[in-house]
Structure 1
């Protein structure tokens, strides 16, 4: 778990059971060698139990069971034991087990190369027992983290092609050996298909999707848990819009958030695979997907656009500022709407921080005015120079998820 996710959970007063202290990660990845970033090892059994207990404390009914069918049009979920649950609005959050949404786009356009993760507890001599490690290997990549003094959690990620024609444990062992030939297979391996995929490009207003059920990311990105949390936070304003008959707002917001997350993370992942500098089939295939578009467009000229954003817990359509660092659009900074502030300047150069406060934001606290001024500087605005932005609305359409667009 990243420090950012831990901070978000704490801010929303969610339990942090099972989350250990931050540990520096050792990296062996092409030109990246040594200590890079840090992460919080998390015991998911304890963490998940804490979340469920917090849900119960808020009045949520927690039901354990296998789902046999889901009927969004009727608002019904039928369990394997015959129990039928009904609700005014359903949310699909079964992760990668959720069925893909039918779409005209091909599967290859909405999913990355087939990738398998095999993980489990291995003897301590199999790796470093001091710090988490991630390492690029010719057949894939490896992540490990010490669980305690005499146990190491080791994950090997390889191509599904490494399974060959084998089945069952033989196939798992073949993939493990293709990445970690020098280490015995864990006694109880945990196996998952982990190819990134855009499972639901469009909102189903009867059953919106959250987390991996909408967008499943490559674990290499380290963005999966953040996406799970942020997509869960968007559930409340989406539900309010749908229950108020504002399905159009919900659709536009969902498509922009979900598609933007998928394509940006896919391209960031592509660049990380390229950075490993390996030329084997595993790396070549992933260094070429999804396309050649830059993960970060550096040619964006600041301009305004209409976007659906969250304001005070509700979906609203607002003008946002599109910049190189905020390609999805920024509506607010330090609690203030950005575009109206810029219009108050009436095309004049951005003043220094003190004059910005006194002439543009006199009603705001000095700290807030200074924070907004600093944010504008970070987006390419320069004190004393003509403001380099277009006041006309050049974009009104929601984000297009087609990679060719």
Structure 2
């Protein structure tokens, strides 16, 4: 059962902030607001786990986790240390390995995303923030500087009033869409992903590396989950996926086992064929305006990144914290706080686009293949803010 509405601090009703979405960005924002003494409530459509597959957290995220005091949440989720990246990318495709022994921030992490998300929300609740699970926002209305939010919960229809909204609803960007803010997309990339079980039915000894392999029609990603299963994803464009019928488990499996680096990983650890393939959005996209009158977007709602960049979770955690800081400043009368946040988001995304472009430019083995030709094209000269 969800906590009663009375648990929201009603002594400062004009300062209540509603966070829509309980993923990394939403959890980070809620924790930061709680630490600042600002009454907050989190509205999460699912039980907090979502349908995300396993992912990796780069070593550069470790200082942020410590600043956000999320070390315990990470460990409670069963995260597995990641000590290296192995890739077949660029040049003649010979495998190369980059270990994290000399990384100033230590090793990375293999995450079970559903477990990690659930652990984050548990941390939010322990900080005194009500979390409304299985609660869907039905409508939003703003009047006299306040938001009225109609919510469908397991306990029935409820209405919340808030001074500010943080849109942490992921790529759906629920609040931004309500405000009719356009979203720019920079490619059409999707992922055809599966979680593979060991053939024996028991957990294998996890390989503590992340594996990436470029191929003519896209690229493969593989990483072990803490429980010994293996996450494998094929990144490509929708038309190319359809042409090769890689949404079918058997076609996907045949293509996977024909690959070199990832195919060898699968066979050497004895993983079996997938039961189903999950199709996930993986394109780069950006809200043209990540904040407005009484609302601000964070995480994928504000800007979504190519998984190749390893920006996703770390950027979501940082974005949630920055959004919360901007909300606090705005509530305290700073009329420039949201404008600075928007500028910071645009500037960060512009840097990301150039970095992403350089990653794909490094792979020149199939310059005429549609997937690579599209990514080798020059960046839009108008930039992310155009």
TM-score over 0.5 for the pair: yes
- Select the residue among 277, 293, 297 that pairs with 1:205: 293
Which residues in structure 2 correspond to 1:274-285 (within 5 Å)?
Answer: 274-277=361-364, 278-279=366-367, 280-285=369-374
Q: Is contact 2:142–2:148 with CA below 8 Å preserved after alignment? A: yes
CA-CA distance at 1:170 after TM superposition: 7.7
CA-CA distance at 1:4 after TM superposition: 1.8
Which residues in structure 2 correspond to 1:124-139 (within 5 Å)?
Answer: 130=207, 131-139=209-217
Matching of residue 13 in structure 1 with residue 69 in structure 2: yes
Which residues in structure 2 correspond to 1:16-31 (within 5 Å)?
Answer: 16-17=74-75, 18-31=78-91
Identify which range, 139-148 or 178-187, moves more after superposition: 178-187
Matching of residue 180 in structure 1 with residue 256 in structure 2: yes
Secondary structure of the 1:132 match is: strand
| Structure 1 outlier segments of 4+, above 6 Å | 102-105
Separation in 1, partners of 2:356, 2:254: 21
Identify which range, 22-31 or 9-18, moves more after superposition: 9-18
Q: Is contact 2:249–2:275 with CA below 8 Å preserved after alignment? A: no
Matching of residue 68 in structure 1 with residue 138 in structure 2: yes
Structure 1 length-normalised TM: 0.63
- Select the residue among 90, 96, 107 that pairs with 1:34: 96
Secondary structure of the 1:212 match is: helix
Which residues in structure 2 correspond to 1:79-90 (within 5 Å)?
Answer: 79-80=151-152, 81-90=156-165
- Select the residue among 88, 92, 96 that pairs with 2:171: 96
Q: Is contact 1:143–1:154 with CA below 8 Å preserved after alignment? A: yes
- Select the residue among 126, 149, 162 that pairs with 1:77: 149
Matching of residue 45 in structure 1 with residue 114 in structure 2: yes
Q: Is contact 1:117–1:157 with CA below 8 Å preserved after alignment? A: yes
Q: In structure 1, what is the equivalent of residue 332 of structure 2? A: 244
Q: In structure 2, what is the equivalent of residue 382 of structure 1? A: none
Q: Is contact 2:181–2:287 with CA below 8 Å preserved after alignment? A: no
Which residues in structure 2 correspond to 1:294-309 (within 5 Å)?
Answer: none
Which blocks of at least 5 consecutive residues in structure 1 are unaligned? Answer: 294-399
Q: Is contact 2:110–2:226 with CA below 8 Å preserved after alignment? A: no
Q: In structure 2, what is the equivalent of residue 152 of structure 1? A: 230
Separation in 1, partners of 2:112, 2:373: 34
CA-CA distance at 1:85 after TM superposition: 1.8
Greater RCO, 1 or 2 (C-alpha within 8 Å, sep 6+): 2
Separation in 2, partners of 1:185, 1:199: 38
Q: How many residues align?
A: 290
Secondary structure of the 1:82 match is: strand
Separation in 2, partners of 1:70, 1:104: 15
Separation in 2, partners of 1:284, 1:239: 42
Structure 2 length-normalised TM: 0.66
Larger radius of gyration: 1
User: How well do the aligned residues superpose, as a CA RMSD in angstroms?
Assistant: 3.2
Separation in 2, partners of 1:123, 1:46: 17
Matching of residue 288 in structure 1 with residue 377 in structure 2: yes
CA-CA distance at 1:171 after TM superposition: 4.5
Q: 1:219 to 1:174 in 2, by over 3 A?
A: farther
Q: 1:36 to 1:175 in 2, by over 3 A?
A: farther
- Select the residue among 348, 354, 358 that pairs with 1:267: 354
Q: 1:150 to 1:215 in 2, by over 3 A?
A: closer
Separation in 1, partners of 2:293, 2:67: 29
Matching of residue 215 in structure 1 with residue 303 in structure 2: yes
- Select the residue among 334, 337, 340 that pairs with 1:253: 340
Secondary structure of the 1:272 match is: helix
Q: In structure 2, what is the equivalent of residue 119 of structure 1? A: 193
Which blocks of at least 5 consecutive residues in structure 2 are unaligned? Answer: 1-56, 101-107, 200-204, 264-271
Secondary structure of the 2:373 match is: helix
